[in-house]
A and B are shown apart, each in its own frame.
Chain A
């Protein structure tokens, strides 16, 4: 799985939902991009750090039964696409809810959780998941 250096590089995005905003056209992106695909050259070196809204709605989801080795202990778990309130679509696990009660349109908010670990002595990876809004 990922190395410690890689884990460290990904912290801004995975812990704090940090993306990018293009100063030329105002479009926002997650994860971060060093260039706006609409403005291309005009945006290079100018992209601004952007903090994605932590609340949103479930756009679609799946309950995963055939799970990867790293997520074995969570089986089954729910993975979804969340449309945040600032209109960014992203993929994350949906937690703190019975899989049967997840539905499209459900209100959710980002929470920091353990994503997986590298085995008994390995690095534990943290990142965002989404849980139902209180």
Chain B
């Protein structure tokens, strides 16, 4: 296997982009990444696209071909593959790209992630999201994604692993960082009281505990590490990219206050990278719901069980707190969550951090960073560890 480098990264604004189509944002992110890598575009020999549900959001399937075409690759006839794994689509597309380069099958690969969600109404959007749970035995029974995470939150509180305030503080942390990210959907800090008083979605979770509905796209360019310096002075090494699965339905698990898929993917990633959680300076964790972000920080080993809540509440997770900075992009809550784009946007953020180009939210001296992207209620998980060179 070859060592793989990220040589370019790009992300669009996230938010309600009424004037932009799926093609517009998908191609824009790709062009930003290609520009960042200093490529002309003709070097690219494969494309991997993370996208959850263009079929239902914009009634378009065959997304691989569409993006390849509008990104100007149709005449080169390069292979283009769309990956779907619920909200982990982007992160798993990244891993596919990494494997393609590591194996020697391809040399210069573009990994993109995109979702256009705002062409349908909120009810349709939620129903599409709910279908990443078990449609037959969860969604059909009345369980929404928010309610599944609300049930996890209730257990967390019941077992004394976190307080309601600690869970809500994950949103405060995200918004504090979103205020520093020009591409974030919400660029305004918020108070804990605002989260606690936000309208109820699924008790105990309110509106400010939940990621918004967003449009957006992100992309990175990969090549073999030994060729990276031909393109850029500032490559990022992919130290590990792993993946794990679990039962589709949450109720089939032994525990619902920890995701075994996250723990397995993290364990495999740390072993591959020959690192431990204490080496990590910055992490992007999947927080479609506040409780999910809190649980992720514990499942990744960044905090002991029952300890992440206090860290979020006390601001130890902020970019300048000198501990592990979490969700410096704003996370899914403040940066926005265009489903298929999220996993790739996390990689973009960590790449920016470890190469020192994260601007106002730069974590000082960050060498190693990690990203966790989850699908469903942790039925799909992917972890990547990046190293600044």
Contacts and interface: CB of A to CB of B under 8 A. Distances in A.
Per DSSP, are chain B's interface residues mostly helix, strand or loop, or mixed?
helix
Contact of A67 (B140, B144, B151, B204): B144
Contacts of B155: 59-60
A63 B126 contact: no
A92 B154 contact: no
A62 B251 contact: no
A2 interface: yes
Interface stretch (B130-138, B295-303, B327-335, B338-346): B130-138
Per DSSP, are chain A's interface residues mostly helix, strand or loop, or mixed?
strand
A115 B142 contact: yes
A68 B130 contact: yes
Contact of A66 (B136, B144, B148, B154): B144
A96 interface: no
B54 interface: no
Interface stretch (A38-46, A47-55, A76-84): A76-84
B141 A92 contact: yes
A34 interface: no
9 contacts: A60-B152, A61-B151, A62-B148, A63-B200, A66-B144, A68-B123, A79-B143, A79-B151, A81-B251
B142 A77 contact: yes
A69 interface: yes
B140 A115 contact: yes
Interface residues of A, number: 33
A66 B127 CA distance: 11
B347 interface: no
Residue from B143, B144, B250, B251 having most chain A Cβ neighbours under 10 A: B251
A96 to B, nearest CB: 15
B89 to A, nearest CB: 22
B203 interface: yes
Residue from B146, B203, B250 having most chain A Cβ neighbours under 10 A: B203
Interface string B109-125: 00000000000000100
Interface residues of B, number: 34
Contacts of B123: 68-69
B190 to A, nearest CB: 20
A91 B158 contact: no
Contacts of A25: none
B203 A63 contact: yes
B147 interface: yes
A122 to B, nearest CB: 14
Interface string B188-206: 0000000000011111110
Given A60-B256, A63-B203, A64-B202, A91 B137 contact: yes
B153 to A, nearest CB: 8
B252 interface: yes
B137 A90 contact: yes
Given A81-B256, A90-B137, A65 B203 contact: yes
Interface in A16-51: 31
A101 to B, nearest CB: 13
Contact of A81 (B142, B151, B199): B151
